[in-house]
Each structure stands twice: as structure tokens, then as C-alpha cells.
Structure 1
Amino acid sequence: MIDLRNVMSPIESANGLPNACYVGEDMFDHERETLFQDSWAAIGFGKDIPRPGMVQPIEFLGMPLLMVRNADGRINVFQNVCRHRGMILIDKPQQLRGPITCPYHAWAYDLDGQLRRTPHVGGSGIDNLDSVNKCDLPLISVRSHVWRDVIFVNIGGEAPAFGDAAAPLIDRWQEFEKPLVHTGADSSISFTLDCNWKLAVENYCEAYHLPFVHPALNSYSRLEDHYNILDTDGFAGQGTTVYQPQISADGRRFPRFEGLSSQWDAGAEYIAFFPNVLLGVHNDHAFAILLRPDGTGRTHEQVEIYYADEAVRGDEFAEMRATNTEMWRTVFSEDVDVVEGMQRGRHASGYDGGKFSAVMDAPTHHFHSWVATALSPAP
């Protein structure tokens, strides 16, 4: 195991995470078995399974999972495998008209994972067998929680309750604890990045690169208008006191979230909730970015934009929605060369993790320290 104690040093003397944390297969495996298993990791969005009976299979760090909207509208997450012979149950997103049924021997489970039918298990035409107790064979449940439409899982099952783990961030954004409206495909963006997932987090956390990488954004939300956010171990990011882009030529704006304080009249915040979800809030819309690691050098990024009012679904807001989505697509696209360039740089044998600016890089160091702590043996 690599000694990461220097990464956890005060920012003035610390180095960043070493190259092996970005290109080493052993380190990637270690991350999967520690920080992703032990924390609340993001795997999907509720908007992708909006109705009861809808299911979506995903593979997260090599594990087949199944997101299910049950009859009461609650989201369950299971390991996507039959308890009989280990067959994958669902191979594509779909609306079920009945139970979750294994395609191999037709063992069937309800939307809460309970085994209900075992056809011919006791012989032809005999659907029961004393040694196969259905109550003992539910789908393997994965501890889950939905917040801001993001579906989180704690695969290891031993993290604090989500409400406790995320309490400082939930409290910080308490004013935004309101229904979110997703308008469909015109509010979705996706990228495949040739970089380690951590570089996407690091880049998102800090505003230091704003004037050099995002000149248009910097024209109305300047570097000097930003502040660092690093209150607790579980998240870091940046905020701005000046965010008022021109979305429509006639000055119209989207409906605002109700009951916001004056802080949000022109303010916005962008926070990485560790390990793998990036969140942004504004007075009239919000977004969430899910990072799905795919080995050491590839990351799939899914961006979903949400609004404050159902009225935004209407045709009268269609052009504004398209403008807003394109604006964010441009901003996020400008980051691609940066994160991919840093990934290529991690193959330079002389690079030692880098020197932080104690003024500008505090959120990045905060994240590095969190990763190093999660990967290091307990004292």
C-alpha cells in the first residue's frame, strides 16, 4: 500500500495524490473495495424510472445492480441476479407489466424483491419444494437512498444513515429542499472522459481555472466573485456571488424556487459530494452530475438539469431550456481537454502529485485528503 500520509498534511506542505492513484490497477481495485463500498456512492437518477414497475439495470464498478420503482413509487436497488443460478435478471431498461422474472427458469420476484413463484421447482407442474423456502430467498437488497433525484447506494451496508452522512450539505442547502422538475431529453447531457474519475471531481471543486478555461463564464461570474466551500470531510466545492447569465433575448427568466433568501438572488454554489456526484444550485435551476468510473482511465459523466416549476415543461420555455442546456454543455465541454490532459500527465514518472496553492486549491486538497484517508489503513 502506498504511503499517503503526506497527502493528508496541511495544504502548505502537502503533495497531491501520487500517479498510482490515477493509473494503477491495484489502487483502482482498492478504491472499489474501500471508499466506494464504505460511502454513499451515486449510481443513477430517479427520473430514469419515473413510474411504478419501471426498472433500470446498471453495472457499477463491475457489480450488476437493478434500480426498481415499486408499486408505492419508492425506489429499491438490488443486485441484478437471480437467487437460483445467478442469472442476470434484467438486461435493459423497461416498464414491467408483472413481476421481475428470471429468463432462465422463470423464478419471479415482486418489485420489493420478494420471491413469489418458482415454476416446476419440485418437478413438472410442481411449483413448490420444502427445501426452497421463498421467504429465505429475496433478491439481494442494496442499501439505498434518493436525494435531489440522485440514487445513492452504500454497498458495504455499514455507512452512517444517508441523512447523517450528508447532514451538513443537506442543512447548507435546506432552502432547496423542494420538488425538482426534469423536462426530458433536452435537459440531459453526457460525456465519456478519458481520465480517472478523481480528476473530474478535482476540476469541479475549484474556481482557479475559471479565467483560463471558461472565458465566457468568467465574463459574468469572475474568479474574484468566487469563494471556497470545504466545511466538512464529505464534500467540497466553490460558490459565486454573481451568477446572472442572459438566457433569453427578451430578458425572461425561469421561475425561481420559492422561499429563497437574498443570498441566492445572484448567488450559486457547486459542490462535489464525495465520492462521485457533482451538484449545482441556482435560484431557478439545479443540476446533478453522476460520475461512473470505468477503470483507471475512463469516466462516464451524466448531467441532468432540473427546474423549479412544472411550467418550465411548456413550449413557451423550450427555447430557454435549449439555451440553458447548451450553455452548460459548452462549459462542461471546455473541461474535457483539461481533465484528459491531467490524466496523460499522470504517466510522467517525475510528477510527485503536485504543489497546492494554499489560497486557490483548498477544495482540491480537501478532496485529496478525503481520498487518502479512505484508502489508508485505520490507525
Structure 2
Amino acid sequence: MNKHAPLSSVLTDVTSAKGLPNAHYIDADVFNEEKESVLFANWSGIGFGKDVPEAGDAKPVNFLGMPLLMVRDRNGDLGVFQNTCRHRGMILVDKPQKIRGAIRCPYHSWCYGLNGELRTAPHVGGPGQSTHENLDFSELGLVRIRSYVWRDVVFVNIDGNAPEFEEVHADLMARWKEFEQPMYHGGESGSLQLELDSNWKLAVENFCESYHLPWVHPGLNSYSRLEDHYNITEMGKYSGQGTLVYRQFEGENGEKLKDFENLSETWNEGAEYIVVYPNVMLGVQRDHGFAFILEPVTHEKTREHIELYYAEKPEDAPHHEALRAKNAALWAEVFQEDVFVVEGMQKGRHGVKFDGGRFSPAMDAPTHCFHHWVASQVEKGRS
């Protein structure tokens, strides 16, 4: 198997393109290559703002072996730092916690503010001496990682070279501008985590398209049929699918969740499901939204972090708890129905004679769009 096979067969029109070669799913070396050229070189999702809601809240994240720390500062801003002390490289925070004073290294007690600045370094100049003429504290703050929060997803650009998030995703942000309003996490029933024996890209590919609905999601397809869906393809930017017949969930007495405010008629019965390249999958509906972060654990293991959001705080609408729980259960059923498909494709990728497969020009354009983007990032990294 040629790990670095030319990707020219992917970087062509959907009518003739092949999918990414097997090595991009089953080879650890190619996984590490994609870590650098696809995941670290672009804006990848690592966590959710709701996990650090108040000043002083801190949550460590291991992103592809990179120790990161999400912190909410005194101004309410969320920052991301390398979770590594500037002194001897000790991990600073090993579990989610409230930072009462400073971020303190457990090794030699160097202390950092919530903004990453080095504040104190006890005995650094000798016993009882907290300064040294050769150490400039202003140069020894925590390494800040470029970050941006959109739809409560915390995106980071590890290598620091990507264009600004708002520039990269300007078109998508404009497309969903109507949803730029407060949204609130659904509480305990609003979180789901799934473990997949699969490469992370296969979860993206499956989410992109509606082609599989009649066979994999018969319940969903009974009211949101294949012919009610449309492809969303923005080459080099994002892709996904939409439906023209989103059906609001109702309670026993016909009650419904509160809608987001001032939405156009497009969203009366419309909904869209889009992948923000590389590893974030988002859905918007008139009365709720959701976000997936795909955590690539290894080349053949992925963890899905899924969160549901609503137009009102759960504590302000306790009468809707049953509706939120029903909504969460229905989505959990749909998401779990996809697991065997994603894992089945991973198994199939070990077929040494598989050539990447062909796309249906009519049905697979969103998936081809993603393959094309990944291939372009890998080629860029190789150049």
C-alpha cells in the first residue's frame, strides 16, 4: 500500500473522482500526517463554551496528544492555552476545576493568571527570592493558542497560520446569520457521547449526505424523505444537507419548544446540517440546534461529543423538560443508527483492492466536497 499515493484522482470533478485512498483511514503514519496538515493547520473544534461557563472555570483537553486548557477569565472571555508550565513542562491542570486564585503549577508553584500571564515564581532567584535578573516574566506567560467560539463550539488553530476564523467561515456565518442569537444548553439530557471504531473522516462523510436515509434511518425517512432533502456544497469551505420538511416535536397536548426569534419563513419547515471542516458537525432547526465535535483518538477510533441547545434556558422552562428529553432521545436514536455504517465502512477500508470508491454525482456531492478539501490540505502540507 502506497501511503503517499498521488491524490489527483480525488482532486477532480465529482463525476469522475475517486474517494481518498485506504491509507487515509487505516494507516497510523497517514493519520499523523493529517493531524498536522488537516487538523492542526485549520480551525478544529476541541470543546464547548458551556463547559467553562463562569470566571475561573478551567477544563483540560487532550487534542491529538496536544495538552490544551480552556479557561474563562474575569472579563468573561474564553481563552485556550497550552496546558504546560513554562518552567519545566509540567501539566498544569489535570481535571476540570474552578481556579480560585491563579493557575498554579503543582511542581514548583509557578503561578499564572487566567489570562496566561506569569504572576509569581517562588524562590526562582534563590530561597526567598521571587525574581531573577535573567528571567523576564512578560516573556514566560502560557502559550496562547488561537481560538474562536462560534455556536458554543471552541475552535482552535494549533499551528497559528490559518486565516482568521471569520474570514474562513464568512459564507457559512452569513448563511446562518438568523441564528446568531442566544442559545442555551439543554442540561443533562442535552449531552451524548458515542465511541466509534472508525476513522473520524467517515463520521463526517456519513453526516454530509442524506442518500442513506431510507435504509439507515427508516423512522426519520418516514416523514423527512430522501426527496425532501437537498445537497449543500461550498467547495473548499463546507458541505452538508438540508431538509424542506423539518417537523417540530410536540408534547402530548400539542405543546412545542420555543422557537428562536425573528426567523424567516425558510425555517418554518426547513433545517440544515453542515460540516464545518474539518471536525465539527452542526444542525439548526427553528426550535433547537446541535453540535458534534469529532475527537480523533487514533486512526481507527473516534469519540463523538454531541450537545443540544435551545432558545430558552432549561431552568426558565421546566414545563418543557419532557419535550427536551423526547427531542434528545429521538436524536440519540438517529445518531446511534449511524454507528454500524461508519464502523462498517472502516472495516471495508481494509479491503486492499478498494480504490477509494466512486461518488454518485447526484447524491454524493457533499461527501466529495469534503474528500476534495482533505486531499487539498494534505497536498498543501506535502508541498
TM-score bucket (shorter structure): over 0.9
Contact 2:85-2:92 within 8 A present in 1 as well:
yes
Query: How much has 1:158 moved relative to structure 2?
Result: 1.2
Contact 1:183-1:312 within 8 A present in 2 as well:
no
Q: For residues 70-121 of structure 1, give each alpha carbon's deviation from its aligned partner in whole angstroms, at most 9, with x where no partner exists.
A: 0001000000000000000000000111100000000000000000000011
1:333 aligns with 2:336: yes
Map 1:62-211 to 2 at 5 A.
62-211=65-214
1: CA distance between counterparts of 2:72 and 2:249? 38
Partner of residue 299, structure 1? 302
2: CA distance between counterparts of 1:247 and 1:371? 40
**Aligned match of 1:32 in 32, 35, 38?**
35
**Aligned match of 2:254 in 218, 232, 251?**
251
Aligned residue pairs, count: 379
Partner of residue 23, structure 1? 26
Query: How much has 1:313 moved relative to structure 2?
Result: 4.7
Query: How much has 1:38 moved relative to structure 2?
Result: 1.4
Contact 1:53-1:70 within 8 A present in 2 as well:
yes
Query: How much has 1:231 moved relative to structure 2?
Result: 2.3
Query: How much has 1:246 moved relative to structure 2?
Result: 3.4
Partner of residue 275, structure 2? 272
Query: How much has 1:245 moved relative to structure 2?
Result: 4.3
Query: How much has 1:36 moved relative to structure 2?
Result: 1.1
Q: Share of identical aligned residues, percent?
A: 53
Partner of residue 355, structure 1? 358
Could you tell me which amino acid in structure 2 is paired with residue 79 of structure 1? Q
Query: How much has 1:21 moved relative to structure 2?
Result: 0.4
1:220 aligns with 2:223: yes
Contact 1:41-1:275 within 8 A present in 2 as well:
yes
1: CA distance between counterparts of 2:314 and 2:133? 56
Could you tell me which amino acid in structure 1 is paired with residue 37 of structure 2? T
2: CA distance between counterparts of 1:245 and 1:330? 16
1: CA distance between counterparts of 2:192 and 2:210? 22
1: CA distance between counterparts of 2:234 and 2:346? 28
Contact 1:15-1:353 within 8 A present in 2 as well:
yes
2: CA distance between counterparts of 1:313 and 1:367? 39
1:54 aligns with 2:57: yes
Contact 2:234-2:369 within 8 A present in 1 as well:
no
1:369 aligns with 2:383: no
SS at match of 2:101: coil
Q: For residues 229-275 of structure 1, give each alpha carbon's deviation from its aligned partner in whole angstroms, at most 9, with x where no partner exists.
A: 01241210000000114331221111101110001000000001100
SS at match of 2:184: coil
1:234 aligns with 2:237: yes
Unaligned runs of 5+ residues in structure 1 are none
Query: How much has 1:312 moved relative to structure 2?
Result: 6.6
Contact 1:168-1:232 within 8 A present in 2 as well:
no
TM superposition score normalised by structure 1: 0.98
2: CA distance between counterparts of 1:349 and 1:162? 38
Q: For residues 173-205 of structure 1, give each alpha carbon's deviation from its aligned partner in whole angstroms, at most 9, with x where no partner exists.
A: 011011111132211111011100000000000
Q: For residues 270-305 of structure 1, give each alpha carbon's deviation from its aligned partner in whole angstroms, at most 9, with x where no partner exists.
A: 001100000000000000000000110000101000
Unaligned runs of 5+ residues in structure 2 are none
1:14 aligns with 2:17: yes
SS at match of 1:376: helix
Contact 1:196-1:296 within 8 A present in 2 as well:
yes
1: CA distance between counterparts of 2:313 and 2:333? 26
2: CA distance between counterparts of 1:84 and 1:233? 41
Contact 1:256-1:308 within 8 A present in 2 as well:
yes
SS at match of 2:144: coil
TM superposition score normalised by structure 2: 0.97
SS at match of 2:5: coil
Task: Provide closer, same or farther for how the CA distance between residues 173 and 232 of structure 1 changes in structure 2, counting only shifts above 3 A.
Answer: farther
SS at match of 2:9: helix
Query: How much has 1:310 moved relative to structure 2?
Result: 2.6
Could you tell me which amino acid in structure 1 is paired with residue 216 of structure 2? V
2: CA distance between counterparts of 1:32 and 1:225? 36
2: CA distance between counterparts of 1:234 and 1:248? 38
SS at match of 1:64: strand
